[in-house]
Amino acid sequence: MLPLVLALACHAAETVAGRWEGTVRIPDAEMRVVVDLAQDSAGQWTGSAIVPGYGVKGAPLTDLAVNGSDVAFTIKALGEPKFRGRLTDAGELSGDCRQGGNTAPFQLAKSGPPQVEPPRRNTPVRKELVGEWRGEMQFVGRPIRVALKLSNRADGMGAAQFVLDGQRHTELPLDRVDQEADTLTVESSETGIGFEGWFRYGAISGTFRQGPFEAPLVLRQAEK
């Protein structure tokens, strides 16, 4: 009996591992989700998620648990929605997504082998970009003053914070800082807020986004 149980458990793990694509049926719409699930040689599960249209690509999965045909995980982005589902006889992952007291059904179908994104590491911020950058934008019809604070931590890796002043004052740490040549990308995986811009002529010009919403934004360095 024990070998049979072990064989069934291994088969379930192999079946759950893969790239899963489908939708979460939120009210009046469907949100597309791509989830990658994989198991390493030590038997530990790991995963990442893509939410097209919401600026989420390679967000890590936390609280990931696989127990037979049952799967549960949290996407560390967009307010950390929690997924709990089961592998159906039709070979799909089906269940509920919960966030902020709301529940929506989801259904995912396997589309191929897993493509789990490795954890991102921040890059250093160039010396001329270190400091505070300020600008204004119209976001969802509202004027918002923006400050982006860039620095390097003791380990040499970049750190960033947004300060947003509109209807309310918000200070938001950013957990991704990526600078390559003149391109700067910063984002908060938890909220889906991010900015991608290009440094030239003494300004950083680019696009601010939160989920599916975008706005042009030009930042100039504040006087030191």
Tens digit of each residue's pLDDT (9 = 90 or more) over 45-88: 999 999 988 878 888 999 999 998 999 999 988 888 999 999 99
CA distance 138 to 141: 6
pLDDT score at 3: 46
CB 115 within 8 A of CB 58: no
Question: Which helix (H) or strand (E) segment is 5 a member of?
Answer: helix 2-16
Architecture of domain 2-112: Beta Barrel (2.40)
CB 28 within 8 A of CB 16: no
Tokens of 150: 């860039």
pLDDT score at 171: 93
pLDDT score at 17: 94
Q: Where exactly are the structural domains of the chain?
A: 2-112, 127-221
pLDDT score at 79: 81
CA distance 164 to 158: 20
Cα 196 off chain centre by: 15
Q: How many CB atoms lie within 10 A of CB 140?
A: 10
Pick the CATH number of 127-221 from 2.40.50.140, 2.40.128.20, 2.30.30.30, 3.40.50.10470: 2.40.128.20
pLDDT score at 196: 95
Tokens of 82: 């929690």
Taking residues 117-134, what's their average pLDDT? Answer: 92
| Closest to 209 measured CA to CA, from 151, 144, 152, 150 | 144
pLDDT score at 15: 83
137 vs 224, residue with greater confidence: 137
pLDDT score at 64: 96
- DSSP state, 155? T
pTM: 0.69
Whole-number percent of the chain with pLDDT over 70? 93
Q: How many helices (H) and strands (E) does the chain have?
A: 1, 17
pLDDT in tens, 149-194: 999 999 999 999 999 998 889 999 998 899 999 999 998 877 778 9
2-112 and 127-221 agree in CATH topology: yes
| Closest to 136 measured CA to CA, from 126, 146, 122 | 146
pLDDT score at 14: 58
